[in-house]
Structure 1
Amino acid sequence: MEDFSLLTPRNPNSTERIQLRRRLGRLQTMDTSIAKATSNMARLAAEKPKLANVLIRRRFVRRTERAPGDHSDRSLPPRPLRPPSTRIMSPRGAALRFYLTALFEAQVSEARADTRPVNNRSLRGTHDDTGWADLLASPARNASGNVYMNVAAKKRRQIHEALGRLHREELVALPNINAGSNKYEGFRLMDEGGAREQGPNELYRLPKAKDKDAFELPITFFTQGWVHCFEDTELAFVLMMASLGATTKEVTIEGAIRLLCYGLGRDAYEAHVMLNRLGLLEVRPAPNRYADGKIQNYGGPSDAHLHSFKLLPEGFETPAYHAVLAAIDKALDQDGDN
């Protein structure tokens, strides 16, 4: 098999440098929270040591049919016409991270495939038990002012907002919805396909090991903290690549499929630059295509000049936090606007 050529990431421009500095500061405020959430996930996974991958059904990340309408990178399909994974993306929200965390928790906590997991975990943990808040990293800090709100209260509000979003998309059910402030306790996972046009969604069933409709994410994606350190665009890109089989083979993605089936625009596609910097993704540059996406001597459809990608599952075995900080530092050390 032909070796991949790593694409040398282009130097960040001035706007990207501002974004990288902001991300660096945000991650640094989360260092303790990331460490605790990652440790708690590793502890849960250790109870099921034979589980090497978390299975996710493709309908979470890809529409079966292309979204109708005339869409482009400047005019993405509206959220209702995107798959669940990209419907729940947001720059600062936690819905996507929380749902992935819930899939991880269900598969490390339950033993039998094709069963519906029961959520006996409370939102707020105790001294003896791990709660959902203990599995979610957050930049929350104690805040004083007219109304004091501590970190625990902020994380609780963040989880409530995430569960509210997931409930609207029919990705979780709320059996205690009439229980006032406790309405989010005991939430139940629903099928990855989310809201259906034909009728209500069903409760989630654990996938079978040989489920042809599911793809794998390495367990280390969770136990080494990558789920906490990635931006939503990077999470979505990894999910897209994994669903295409990029953990075992080289793949390409046509622009129309990326837009109309995965609901991902150019910004999310550009996530491959950071993933390449992190050593998680090999990129074979398309002939005549520059690192910024422009095509040399362009004369025809851009899908004739596609980059090829391959995920590197062993890369997820590296602790995420320090790897991401190092990659950002290295990018900021490069000359800008080149």
Structure 2
Amino acid sequence: MDLVTVSAKSSGSSAQASAYTRNKLRQFRSALGLLARNHVVDLGKLRSVNRYEGFRLLSEDASSSSAGAVEYRVPRGDEDTLNIPFQFFTRGWVHALTKSEIAAFLMCLQMASEEEYRSISWKERAGLFGLSRDVYDAMQALEAYRLINIMRPRGRREDGTWRGFSSGGQPFSNKIRLNLRGLWRPAHEVVEAAVMKTAVLGKWSRPLGG
């Protein structure tokens, strides 16, 4: 496991509350520094006193570089965008999911819906999103977190492989349906419960009552 998440809570004492505030500020500045190195945020001059104040958002389409910055603008209504539910950020999912799980979730968010099950072909997975077969493990995690539901064809294993598959056969893809209501739950509680049950059973599984 390459990620550990805990619920950050401050205590009632002023000293510990002050330490909590300093830690949050340090994390915020660290995040801004990372975004700046990837040319998504424009900060003040290096080592300047007020470097992190009044930062400027830059374009997300990789058009900014060290040679020049392109300022962020709100997308037009006719532009192709991906709407990410705000609970993904406010309930801690952006911090609790691994990079692979985030990539898999964004793919599902783009290609699937809450109304019906939909197949995501290997051409879409690899061609549009650049994701390998390893995404199947991430999808199992998302299912355990109750962020998606998976309908598997008969004979298909959870890791995406097939039982008794022959070279002349035509495999069917898993079908995915979103469960965005799952985003409303505190991410650290959901992930912790699912990971603990997975450690016991040796495979991804939804916690009882989770």
Question: Which amino acid is 1:159 matched to?
Answer: A
Question: RMSD of the alignment, in Å?
Answer: 3.4
Match of 2:34 among 162, 165, 177: 162
| 1:331 counterpart = 2:203 | no
Question: Which amino acid is 1:158 matched to?
Answer: S
Match of 2:181 among 314, 322, 327: 314
> Identity over aligned residues, as a percent?
27
Give SS of 2:150's match: strand
- Structure 1 residues 177, 259: CA separation in 2 closer, same or farther (over 3 Å shift)? farther
The aligned counterpart of 1:191 is: 59
The aligned counterpart of 2:163 is: 296
Question: Which amino acid is 2:196 matched to?
Answer: D
What TM-score does the superposition give when structure 2 sets the normalisation length? Answer: 0.73
Tell me, which stretches of 5 or more residues in structure 1 are unaligned?
A: 1-18, 37-126, 128-132, 135-149
Aligned residues: 194
- Structure 1 residues 289, 155: CA separation in 2 closer, same or farther (over 3 Å shift)? same
Partners of 2:59 and 2:29 in 1: how far apart? 24
The aligned counterpart of 2:207 is: none
Query: Which structure is richer in relative contact order (CA contacts within 8 A, separation 6 or more)?
Result: 1
Cα deviation, residue 250, structure 1? 2.5
The aligned counterpart of 2:42 is: 173
| 1:270 counterpart = 2:142 | no
The aligned counterpart of 1:281 is: 148
Cα deviation, residue 323, structure 1? 1.1
Cα deviation, residue 160, structure 1? 4.8
- Structure 1 residues 225, 156: CA separation in 2 closer, same or farther (over 3 Å shift)? closer
Question: Which amino acid is 1:221 matched to?
Answer: F
After superposition, the C-alpha distances for 1:122-146 in whole angstroms (9 at most, x for unaligned) are xxxxx9xxxxx97xxxxxxxxxxxx
Partners of 1:301 and 1:184 in 2: how far apart? 59
What TM-score does the superposition give when structure 1 sets the normalisation length? Answer: 0.48
User: 8 Å contact 1:250–1:308 — kept in the other structure?
Assistant: yes
Give SS of 1:217's match: coil
| 1:228 counterpart = 2:95 | yes
Give SS of 2:103's match: helix
Partners of 1:326 and 1:271 in 2: how far apart? 16
After superposition, the C-alpha distances for 1:284-309 in whole angstroms (9 at most, x for unaligned) are 11332111221123234898421111
- Structure 1 residues 299, 182: CA separation in 2 closer, same or farther (over 3 Å shift)? farther
Partners of 1:310 and 1:159 in 2: how far apart? 32
1:3-82 residue pairs with structure 2 within 5 A? 19=1, 23=3, 26-27=4-5, 30-32=6-8
Partners of 1:193 and 1:254 in 2: how far apart? 25
Partners of 1:297 and 1:309 in 2: how far apart? 23
Cα deviation, residue 313, structure 1? 1.0
Partners of 1:301 and 1:212 in 2: how far apart? 41
Partners of 2:49 and 2:110 in 1: how far apart? 37
| 1:305 counterpart = 2:179 | no
Tell me, which stretches of 5 or more residues in structure 2 are unaligned?
A: 11-17, 204-210
User: 8 Å contact 2:29–2:52 — kept in the other structure?
Assistant: no
- Structure 1 residues 286, 184: CA separation in 2 closer, same or farther (over 3 Å shift)? farther
User: 8 Å contact 2:136–2:160 — kept in the other structure?
Assistant: no
| 1:257 counterpart = 2:124 | yes
The aligned counterpart of 1:144 is: none
